Structure 1
Amino acid sequence: MEDAPQTKRRRTDTDIDPETKPEAEMPPTRSTEYWFDDGNIILQVESTQFRIFRGILSLHSSVFRDMFTIPLPKDEPTVDGCPVVVLSGDTAEDWVLFLGVMFPKYHAGERATVLLLQALFRLSRKYDFALFRKECVRRLKQEFPSFTEDSDDDLSGWKLLDPENQDMYLPLISLAREVGLPSMLPFGYCSVISLYDGPAMEKVLDPSDLSVHPTDRLACLLGYAKLLKLQSTTILEWLNLDDGSPDLPATDCETPDACCAAVRKIASNPDPGEICVLKDWNADWNNKMCSCCEERAKSVYAGGREDCWAQLPDVFGLPDWDELQSLDFE
């Protein structure tokens, strides 16, 4: 199985002075949160031990289910009568987060954090916790959709994740790349460049920041310029009166001079670097034109978002939406 875990039975070592042991060999400590007195298996991760239940692990994980079919040697050391499985390559922090989902302490509607999703993905893939992995994919794809039925919806903001900061998009993009979900990338890149004056974009612009994958940095930088140009001829085309825009004023407009003046005033105010693909119609533009021209402008804006959305993968040098979805691992 992919990412098969390296496990070994705990060995007792009384010949080494605990004061001189390296961190990995320090005496284990019991988890304060996940040590159940009626548990029948102990997982040791780094120097932390978790006493939980074989049946629950077997129910959710084919890896643990297969592991527990192997009889234990009669002289196998135990702790409080429970066998100990040492899980190599994992972190205690990831397991604390993971067990918090397996033995929930929060309401189902509580938003997840990036750290929690990263832990769930790492451990659910390594140990084949299929249901947990499926839930992670669902959450990620709802945050980073590959399509939308209604382009008038405001696609900015978080739905199922807890927005700790503006820098969340880059770790999620890295996670999408790590777990094989390329259909998340266009929306992720677009979200980053929408924060062109925020921490996420600052990291993209800083070539010395090694936490940003070079492919992601290049995609964001090149895509930013391409998307600005694309939206000027799609989403914001109604603002291009001086370029002979066919959209405004509307054919049934009774105040064309006033409406054109209003459009030129709007065109002089928007931030020239603003990315609009993920944003609904700006309410500040309401009541600036006659109702006919406003409806026409809204229609162009909505249609332009659909056009940009369809071309978003190409903007970032990726295959089209259908191919990206077919490449998703899940």
Structure 2
Amino acid sequence: MTDAPFVVPLDRGALWFEDGTLVIRAQQTAFKVHRSILAARSSVFRDMLAMPQNAEFVEQLDGCPMVVLPDAPKDLHCFLRAIFDSSYFMPSPHMADLSDILSILRLSHKYDVDYLFQRALAHLDQSLYFNSFHDFHHHLGGFGSIRLIDGSDEEWNAHMNSPLPFVLILQATTEVNALWLQPLTVYWACSVPLNSLMSLPRAAASRETLQQLVQWRTALVQARARFLAHFAEFGVGPGIGGHCSTSATCLRAGLSFVTRVMTQHAGADDASILEPIDLQDLNFCRSCGDHAERFCENDAVDSWAQLPRRLGLPTWQQLRAQRQAVLGL
């Protein structure tokens, strides 16, 4: 059978090796690559290409057999480039765009390219998994080797940026069953103001995903509200630390903090249960200030321990075991 004509012209993708031996088509984009290399990297392609085919019924393009895949051209481009261009998708700590990481994560899992799957997970793991609250707190403020906004080093801020990056991570890690990455992924997605969450593009998050995120966010907001109530209450009496000679001043300081949080977050609508709390400008006496810091830290450590449970996920211990099984870390 000669090259078959197409009613709709195909666009040549950026990967088009003139000496390639296989054309892969995704929608109206085609990539010409080396069959033997692809088969060596992917067991799925190896089995697919090993199947006997009747040449009379095999579509061809540019003198090569053509395989049609259901994947998005952008995803397939990232995946194939990671296989055929060794300088493109480097291991962490080399920087990579989040969209590229997720494209490679999904397709390397789907087509069983283990070294790329491990590499994509490692990029996410460096920024979204920590063994303890103290490790998390020490690295707070950065996302390792991930550029959350394509082509930019702009720092993501919970009160300025969209939760979209983390919603995309959540969907991809669900697809590949990388549950240990989800507690912090959900936490960052839910740390934004509620109107930011509700403003997500409908194409980016299904109704079910959005409903689940709102439920998770409500659970975190309730936990934060309980902390604020306890913080206000523990100053009532002869002194927060037990050695306070200015209890009225320290009580006002505690209430001032609670008021400030409620002002910043309408109706105390704050889901940031793991964020550090600055008590330096609240005019506590030394004893009460030390006690308040311990109170806040203990609450944050407990919030960390309870985070997977609040999100309906396995315990940290179980998540750690899954991570060990997949990444060997």
Q: TM-score, normalised by structure 1?
A: 0.73
1:193 matches 2:163 = no
2:129 aligned with 1:145:
yes
The alpha carbon displacement at 1:128 in A equals 0.9
* Runs (5+) with no aligned partner, structure 2: 150-160, 263-267
Q: Which residue of 1 aligns with 2:156?
A: none
Distance in 2, matches of 1:275 and 1:110, equals 31
Task: Report the Cα distance in structure 1 between the residues aligned to 2:211 and 2:28, rounded to whole angstroms.
Answer: 40
Q: 1:99 — aligned with what? A: 80
1:44 matches 2:40: no
Query: 1:195: how far off?
Result: 0.5
Percent of aligned pairs with the same amino acid: 21
Higher helix share: 2
Question: Quick one: structure 1 residues 323 and 315, their matched pair in 2 at CA, closer, same or farther if it must change by over 3 Å?
Answer: same
Task: Mark the CA change 1:217 to 1:125 in structure 2 (over 3 Å): closer, same or farther.
Answer: same
Q: Give 3-state SS (helix, strand or coil) of 1:269's partner.
A: helix
* Offset at residue 156 of structure 1 (A): 5.7
Structure 2 counterparts to residues 173-188 of structure 1, below 5 A: 173-188=170-185
Asked if the contact 2:250–2:284 (Cα under 8 Å) also holds between the matched residues in 1, the reply is yes
For residues 78 and 229 of structure 1, the distance between their equivalents in structure 2, rounded to whole angstroms, comes to 59
The equivalent of 2:251 in structure 1 is 260
Root mean square deviation, CA, Å: 3.7
Decide which structure has the larger Cα Rg and report it.
1
Report if aligned partners of 2:228, 2:258 keep a CA contact under 8 Å in 1: no
Q: 2:223 touches 2:273 (CA, 8 Å); kept in 1?
A: no
Query: Relative contact order: is structure 1 or structure 2 higher (C-alpha 8 Å, sep ≥ 6)?
Result: 1
> Which of 202, 205, 217 pairs up with 1:212?
205
Letter in 1 for 2:96: A
Matching residue of 1:7: none
Which residue is 1:294 aligned to? 289
CA separation of 1:105 and 1:229: change in aligned 2, threshold 3 A: closer
Q: 1:58 maps to what in 2?
A: 39
1:30 corresponds to 2:12? yes
Structure 1 residue 123 displacement after superposition:
1.7
- Note the 1:157-172 alignment, pairs <5 A: 158-164=143-149, 165-166=161-162, 167-172=164-169
Render the CA deviation track for 1:63-109: whole Å, top value 9, x for unaligned: 2334555678788886666x333132123221222234331347765
- Whether 2:284 is the aligned partner of 1:303: answer no
| Structure 1 position 289, deviation (Å) | 2.2
TM-score for both structures, normalised by structure 2 = 0.74
